[in-house]
Amino acid sequence: MTSCASAVRLKDVGELKNLRLNKKRDEKRYNEKKYLDKRYSDKKNKEEWRGWRFLFVSLAVTALSIIFFFSVRLILPKIEQRLSLSVEAISQRVNKWGGIRLKNIELEVASEDQDELLPQLTASLKQELDSYKGRSFWSVELAEVKELVEKNGWVDKVAVQRSFPDRLSIHITAKRPRYLVRGMRSWFLVDAKASVISISREIPGAWINLPLVFGKEKKFDRGQTIEELNRRLTDQRLDFQALTRLMDSVERRFHVHIESLEFKDDSWSEGSLVQMKIFSQNKTDIMGQNLGEEFEVVLPLRTEDGIISEQRLESLQYVLSDLRLKGVASAQILGQFDGRWIVSRRKER
């Protein structure tokens, strides 16, 4: 009986343990399910909130865009009206307040003949430019100043700019005189582009060594401004440009100084001839007078192709070399006929 009772008791204890294990297992499953349900519920709520938040932000942005669009349409005309105030009106207000006044005008000249040119150019522009001093710094029209400076015969290019607080800077590229042309009553200083730079009754001392050009006296008249004269001489520009090319070729090839040139019309040839007086600079006396070779050469100003041929200048070079070898210090070379140069020898000095 005792053994049977013990067996029954052990069986009850085993069942009790199994019940407890099953209970714990069920509780664990319940808790896990509850936890998973909560996480799912939280996730679902969060996704719903994100959707609502996106909707609210979209509506807010749309509303603000509409408000901004209509506000700009209402406010923009007023802004444009305020900004439409002219520079003159603003400068007038600045002047009433005292404003900034122009005190200094600086000239910067780019030229190879700085020493001779700068005093003349500065003196000729000073009086006209001084009229701008004392004006409102911002009211000075740069285009007007540039146009004024460009009227000066010495000026080739010009740039004008403001330099804060009270200075105007003018950068000038000057013309370079190439020769002096004799007029009816005056001398005309002309650059390589055949533009008249200056007019003087006497040869300017600074340019006394420039070549002198004769034969166009009737084309030049002192009773005009330089601007008018340049317009009037348009038909002569080709002749002077051809003359410049001829002078450049002679100086480069023969290494001589050109003292003077004279245009000569010849009915036997097409176009003009140029009588050129040249001399070497290798011998001078104590007074600076030339003692070297001196020749007068007659050359055509232009040939059929528009310029004198290098072949003709090369043959002329042989003639000059031959005269020097023979000790001829002065001669007239009257031109070329049938391939030969006509030379008239002068008496020795």
Which amino acid would we find at residue 320?
A: L
List the 257-265 sheet strands across, edge first.
Answer: 196-200, 187-191, 177-182, 212-214, 257-265, 272-279, 294-300, 330-337, 340-345
- β-pair type (294-300, 104-110): unpaired
Res 302: pLDDT: 65
What is the secondary structure of 185-241 as a DSSP string? SSEEEEETTS-EEEEESS--GGGTTSPEEES-GGG--SSS-HHHHHHHGGGGHHHHH
Q: What is the number of helices (H) and of strands (E) in the chain?
A: 7, 12
Q: Are the CB atoms for 172 and 155 separated by under 8 Å?
A: yes
Rounded to whole angstroms, how far apart are CA atoms 289 and 118? 29
Residues 6+ apart with CB under 8 A from 206: 113, 116, 120
Q: What is the pLDDT along the chain (349 residues), one digit of tens a residue?
A: 555 555 556 566 667 777 777 777 777 777 777 777 777 777 777 777 777 777 888 888 888 888 888 777 777 777 766 665 555 566 566 555 556 788 888 888 887 665 566 677 777 788 788 888 888 787 888 899 999 888 888 888 899 998 888 888 999 888 888 989 998 888 888 888 888 888 888 887 778 888 999 988 888 775 567 888 888 787 788 888 888 888 888 888 888 888 898 888 765 555 678 888 888 755 444 445 545 678 888 888 765 554 566 778 888 888 888 888 888 878 888 877 777 888 887 665 4
With 0-12 / 13-18 / 19 or more C-beta atoms within 10 angstroms meaning exposed / middle / buried, residue 45 is: exposed
Q: Which residue has the tokens 């009986």?
A: 1
Res 13: pLDDT: 66
Res 90: pLDDT: 61
Residues 6+ apart with CB under 8 A from 204: 187, 189, 198
CA 126 to chain centre: 24
Res 287: pLDDT: 46
Rounded to whole angstroms, how far apart are CA atoms 168 and 133? 10
First CA to last CA distance, the chain: 177
Res 286: pLDDT: 44
Q: Are the CB atoms for 203 and 180 separated by under 8 Å?
A: yes
Output DSSP code: residue 165: T
pTM for this one?
0.62
Res 4: pLDDT: 53
